[in-house]
Amino acid sequence: MAVHAHPDDESSKGAGTMARYADEGADVLVVTCTGGERGDILNPSLLHDPEVLADLPARRRLEMAAAASALGVRQTWLGFVDSGLPEGDPLPPLPEGCFALTPLTETVPALVALIREFRPQVLLTYDENGGYPHPDHIMTHVVSMAAVEAAADPEQYPELGAAWDVAKVYYHVSFRRSQMKAVHEALVARGLESPFGSWLEDWDDHDGRAATARVDVAGYYPQRDAALRAHATQIDPDGFFFAVPRDVEAEIWPWEEFELVRSTIPPTRPDGEPEEDLFEGIRTPVEVAP
């Protein structure tokens, strides 16, 4: 189960991992907390499209369905309303009734019900800062972690089904400096333009979150890219997400990274050695006869 704030988040964070596990036979469910109703149109070619402007929420639901199909996963809506990204100094108040202001007494049981119904062994979500400080991403973290704990407790929300303890919870670790630096240097060495030069100039030398798991997804770039393009109102097909040639990406940084933050499974790797499979310790590796 991957819990995300808005439609399109699932395609920019962990999409290759979900596509890989779905292809390998896992049942993968994306939970989208909001409908993305307040998202801006980020694709220049659709800024003035009358069909898009007529009903953006409906368009985003169609895009989400297409992205889920591209990844080979299931998807459901948690049912809350996009908070938007406030801008200004001072920041304006969040809109009444939005996800970030909805009481946890409403949001947490909604996710508890899905966890107990779906019974995931692995759950993916955001860190305490939301990956980046969007109010819906931060609230997704809060709701995810509270729901995991509540779902495991039979005394909480007994009316929502039998308790279920998620075996492993991971945070997405996206856009680390080490990743950007490695890809940037590879592009420059090949005489190609890098989209990361200005980022690295403004970035300190620290990676931030520690990646404790690396999943090789180089074989699933087509599914990931198709899912990104499915979110046509949010993703510019000529923009940042497609700036790095896929052969360079596969050679230099073929992984999606995660941080294990909660586990009922004893450690399977020596300290400092990243997992290569989010299901390590849960499923028994297939033994190949000599």
Question: What pTM does this model have?
Answer: 0.93
| CB atoms near residue 159 (< 10 Å) | 6
Whether the pLDDT of residue 278 is over 70: the answer is yes
User: 175-231, pLDDT tens digit by residue?
Assistant: 788 888 999 999 999 999 898 888 788 776 656 678 999 999 999 999 999 999 999
**Residues 1 and 124 sit within 8 Å (Cβ to Cβ):** yes
Alpha carbons within 13 A on the beta-carbon side of 241: 24
Q: What is the band of 174 on the pLDDT scale with cuts at 50, 70, 90?
A: confident
Both tokens of 218, joined, read 């180089």
Q: Are strands 74-80 and 29-34 parallel, antiparallel or unpaired?
A: parallel
The SS3 call for residue 178 is helix
User: 10-55, pLDDT tens digit by residue?
Assistant: 999 999 999 999 999 999 999 999 999 998 899 999 999 999 999 9
**Residues 160 and 116 sit within 8 Å (Cβ to Cβ):** yes
The SS3 call for residue 158 is helix
User: 86-138, pLDDT tens digit by residue?
Assistant: 888 898 999 999 999 999 999 999 999 999 999 999 999 999 999 888 999 99
Q: At what angle do helices 135-151 and 104-118 cross, to 10 degrees?
A: 60
User: 56-71, pLDDT tens digit by residue?
Assistant: 999 999 999 999 999 9
